[in-house]
Amino acid sequence: MAEKSSMATRAVSKLADVLIQESTALEVVRSRAELVERKLRNTKDIIDHLERLAVSDPNEHELKQAIETIGATAEETSTFLNTLVKKKRRKGVLYLLDQHNVNIHLQQIKKKVEGIYHRIANYESRAESLWEIQTLRPTTQLPLLDPESSSTVRFDGEVEILIANLLSHEKRRFITSILGAKGTGKTTLAKLIYDNKKVKDHFAYQKWLPVPLHGKVEEFQKQINEVAATLRTLEESKKYLVVVDGIETGNFFDTLRETIRSIPDKSTGSRFLVTTGNANVARQAGTISFVCPLQLLDDEQSWILLKTKLGAVPFEMMKVAKKIVTTCGGLRSQVLKLEMSDLLSHRDVIDEESSSLQKMPNLEENPWSETFDAVYENLPSYLRRCLFYFELFPANFAIPARRLVVLWIAEDVVYNEKNQERPERVAEKYLTELMDLNLVQIAKRKPNGKVKTCRLPNALRQLLLIKANKLPKFSRIGEVVVADRLDENDIWHNHIHGNTTSDSATLQNYYKDVLSFKSFDTREGSKPGQDICNFLNMCISSNCLLLLRVLDLEGVYKPKLPKSIARLSLLRYIGLRWTYLESLPSSISSLLKLQTLDLKHTYIHILSSSIWQMELRHLYLSETYRTRFPPQPKAIGGNSFSDLQTLWGLFVDEESPVKGGLDKLSNIRKLGITCQSMLQQQTAMESQLDAIADWIMRLEHLQFLRLRSRDEKGQPWKLNLKFLGLGGHVKLTDMYLLGWLNNPFILSHFPPSLVDLTLSHSKLDDDHDPMKFLKDLPKLRSLSLLAESYMGTNMRCYSQSFPQLHVLKIWKLEKLKEWIIEEEALPSIRQLEIRSCPDMRILPVGLKHVKSLLELKLTNMPEEIRTNIDNILPHCDIHIDNFQ
């Protein structure tokens, strides 16, 4: 099938190029041409992927014919369109009959593309369903120091979930794989499991079998046969656990699997535990199998590991030490190679972009070099596209996950034709897959454990660049993307930042077909914004960038947008976050295909009413500058914003169009609202708050909610939340409430799905201790009790309360005197911060029982609190600032 697939791929790519290049000339059928072009690009990728699926299928012959047919149709359509474009350019017009014929050809190719999609989906699903695979994920992602060792970080969550898996009630024998790149600690984790007392008590027989390094299959066969002989002699009721450490190739695993099959399964609950860096090995483990992926350490975990190894790091060395540890790419083995001498040799380096910090200290070779080729070759095409996308960002750049997801969608890097799953969800799954394969590192997590930023490890980036340079031109993402990284080696650097003016022909050669423009010019001053404005003007006037889907200027200082931006009518994404831009050109109202408009941290406070006509999915507004939302024009139908999922930074006053306007938006998943009276009309403002509360009740997909209420003087005011208004929100995970809770008992009706909760100015009294009402929330990981959230004098954490809480912040509770922590309370707490509680003069004695605590921060606290600080465990980092 490979030859026909290759021919079809070339034909499909050729037609996609023709459609994108000639869409301007074929203006009358432009929208259909764009649709077909996107489907063709995706079809090319999945045809490529089929060659790597080794599945015997009775319908394979039909699939080959379908691929051959689509290739022939693509070739024929390309020839027809080229002829038609030449005709238009010669005569200056496209006749109605010609337009009709173009539509017919495009409709034919679209129908055949959709047909092959369904065939390929079935073909791939048969490949994936050969094995019943489940992924094991720990509920906790933060490391816990092992009290018995000062030099290691325990795999807390992974140990817990793996032990539960191995000791489960499943009677059938199964294989569990620990998946991770070299240096992630697979063997260390497997050893922790193997030596665990519960595991030893559960299994009558245990065997540790290391795979010979650079050994032969025959040698391994001999070893596993000896183990198998022993297993056959065990009594019928005996359970056994065999750990096979270090299987990296398929032939070794085939040997193991065949040997396992030769041993009768006595349904006693016996287990095999395998460590591997090969995802294909993990996926093909058996009829029932589990995979526990070891993700790379994030920056905080890496820092904790380094501190644990080195002991106390001098304060003056901390800044450079934290930067150096990020160059280790999240590999435990590389962090543990660092010595104090490495920190001392870089102590004068303060520029995080310095080339010396891009190199990993004490490394003789790239830690990914042994396994990258195997991982890359088995990578599905959809993940390859996502991985190569990271090249567009500067080295070691921490990319916000929310930014990455919407960019992937806007640029058709992700697609989903198998079902109706939201593209955002598909993109998030792709990102998780890359993290599970140790190809992408989480840089920073949110307090609730979710990914805040991620990056491509620099050592891995070097290997990926080698692969990219070997790709054919049409397969490179960079061929249709301009990424301004202030790198003089980039071909567009001089066009953007130079003093020369390029002619139209030169610009068209580089920028006619560009689909995405990104700038990472975060220099201070006016020059970055002027450069961008001049470049955009120059290109648009030369009929370039007219196919642009993405304009991402996040972090560029005041990049004035040209009025001619209206010509970029295909734009789906405009990112202006942190630009401090003061206004938008009125012509932006013509960009009706926009899916994401990010105005967070700008000074823009006026939006055009045409925003109701856009295809927006994500809208971020300026929170601090009170961006006002315009009323919906009467001429616009009721389905406006039907796909809007994010509405963040919304400002609501007495005149905002809430009832009968904004409250019609029912698909919102992320909602951030600040309510403030501007006209001193209390009754009108209370009506607005009631309308917002009713709206929130109806948002069944809501996942993130931030609601703030202030009076005309800017002081916290009532929220008017309904007593039972939140209990039914089973998807709500993150909630921030600033304002009075008119009914404090609403706390007992918060949804059990909550992971991250912040309360501020709630004015709860002694009878409504939040620790009592919130203690049983099963998934709560982060709790922040901020200023005046609790007005009582006593607070109590009960035994067994807050089972999953990792982060607790207690700020500005000015009347709090005594905090009691019962034994076995807060069993998972990692970080505790107490700030500006002037009447709290002694730390809770019960803190000495909280063995999981890693970090305690005390800020603006009474001097007397020092006398009790010795109760804290010795492995807890204590940060003290500004004692009163």
DSSP string of 515-584, one letter each residue: -EEEE----SSSHHHHHHHHHHHHHHHTT-STT--EEE-TT-S--PPPGGGGG-TT--EEE-TT------
In a domain, 311, yes or no: yes
At a CB cut-off of 8 Å and minimum separation 6, what does 522 contact? 528, 555, 556, 557
**In this structure, are 280 and 175 located in the same domain?**
yes
C-alpha separations of 58 from 114, 121, 532 in Å = 21, 15, 56
CA–CA distance from 292 to each of 58, 159, 238, 432 (Å)? 34, 10, 26, 13
Per-residue pLDDT averaged across 682-690, rounded? 94
* CA–CA gap between residue 875 and residue 861 (Å, rounded): 22
Residue 603 belongs to a domain = no
How far is the CA of 725 from the CAs of 698, 732, 754, in angstroms? 9, 12, 14
Give the burial string for 223-239 (b: 16+ CB within 10 Å, else e).
Answer: bbeebeeebeebeeeeb
Averaged pLDDT of the chain = 83
* 204-213, 625-634, 853-862: least confidently modelled range: 625-634
Q: Higher pLDDT residue, 122 or 67?
A: 67
683 versus 26: the higher-pLDDT residue is 683
Asked if residue 707 belongs to a domain, the reply is no
Task: Name the residue with higher pLDDT: 140 or 827.
Answer: 827
pLDDT at 519: 96
Q: Is there a domain that residue 192 lies in? A: yes
Q: Per DSSP, what are the bridge partners of residue 812?
A: none
209, 213, 219, 221 alpha-carbon torsion, rounded to 10°: 50
Examine residue 366 and state whether it is found in any structural domain, yes or no.
no
| Tens-digit pLDDT profile for residues 524-557 | 999 999 999 999 999 999 999 999 999 999 999 9
| More confident position, 786 or 7 | 786
Asked if residue 570 and residue 549 are part of one domain, the reply reads yes
pLDDT at 143 over 50: no
CB-based contact 509:472 (threshold 8 Å): no
Q: Which of 246, 278, 293 is the last residue of a domain?
A: 293
- Lowest mean pLDDT across 11-20, 183-192, 590-599, 650-659: 11-20
> What pLDDT sits at residue 125?
45
Helix (H) or strand (E) holding 185, with range, is: none
- Co-location of 794 and 856 in the same domain: yes
φ and ψ at residue 421, rounded to 5 degrees = -65, 140
DSSP letter at 492?
T
Domain count, the chain: 6
Residue-level pLDDT at 56: 42
Does 322 share its domain with 265? Answer: no
pLDDT at 566 over 90: yes
The first and second tokens of residue 321, run together, are: 């030490």
- Residues near 231 by beta carbon (within 8 Å), at least 6 away in sequence: 205, 240, 242, 263, 270
Are both 787 and 825 inside the same structural domain? yes
| Residue that is last in its domain, among 89, 106, 128 | 128
| 8 A C-beta contact, residue 16 and residue 79 | no
| Least confidently predicted of 308-312, 761-765, 822-826 | 308-312
Is position 398 within any domain?
yes
Q: Are residues 451 and 476 in the same domain?
A: no
State the pLDDT confidence band at 37, using cuts at 50, 70 and 90.
low
User: Within this chain, do residues 235 and 185 fall inside the same structural domain, yes or no?
Assistant: yes
Are residue 386 and residue 352 in the same domain, yes or no?
no
Which residue, of 256, 271, 293, is where some domain finishes? Answer: 293
What pLDDT is attached to residue 69? 67
Per the domain annotation, does 722 fall within a domain? no
Is the C-alpha dihedral spanning 330, 335, 336, 337 positive or negative? positive
Residues 382 and 530 placed together within one structural domain of the fold? no
In whole angstroms, what is the distance from residue 322 CA to residue 316 CA?
A: 11
In percent, the amount of the chain with pLDDT more than 90 equals 49
Residue 374 pLDDT > 90, yes or no?
no
Q: Which residues pair with 178 in a beta bridge?
A: 275, 292
pLDDT band at 100 (very low <50, low <70, confident <90, very high): low
Lowest mean pLDDT among 451-455, 465-469, 571-575, 752-756: 465-469
Measured distance CA(339)–CA(811) in Å, rounded: 37
Q: Is the dihedral of CA 138, 142, 143, 144 positive or negative?
A: negative
Residue type, 856: L
Mean pLDDT, range 856-865, rounded to an integer: 91
CATH number of 61's domain? 1.20.5
- Phi, psi (degrees; rounded to nearest 5) at 414: -115, 150
Whether 138 and 272 map to the same domain: the answer is yes
147 and 273 in a common domain: yes
Residue 690 is assigned to a structural domain of this protein: no
Flag the least confident range among 144-158, 355-369, 825-839.
144-158
Q: Which residue has the higher pLDDT, 100 or 614?
A: 614
Tokens of 185: 């600690």
Map residue 862 onto helix, strand or coil: coil
How far apart CA 796 and CA 789 sit, in angstroms, is 15
Token pair 């006593």: residue: 794
How far is residue 38's CA from residue 570's CA, in Å, rounded to a whole number? 13
pLDDT in tens, 772-819: 999 999 999 999 999 999 999 999 999 999 999 999 999 999 999 999
pLDDT for the residue numbered 663: 92
Res 145: pLDDT: 42
Which residues span the domain enclosing 26?
2-128
Q: Domain check: are 272 and 139 in the same one?
A: yes
- The pLDDT tens digits of the residues spanning 38-58 come to 555 555 555 555 544 444 444
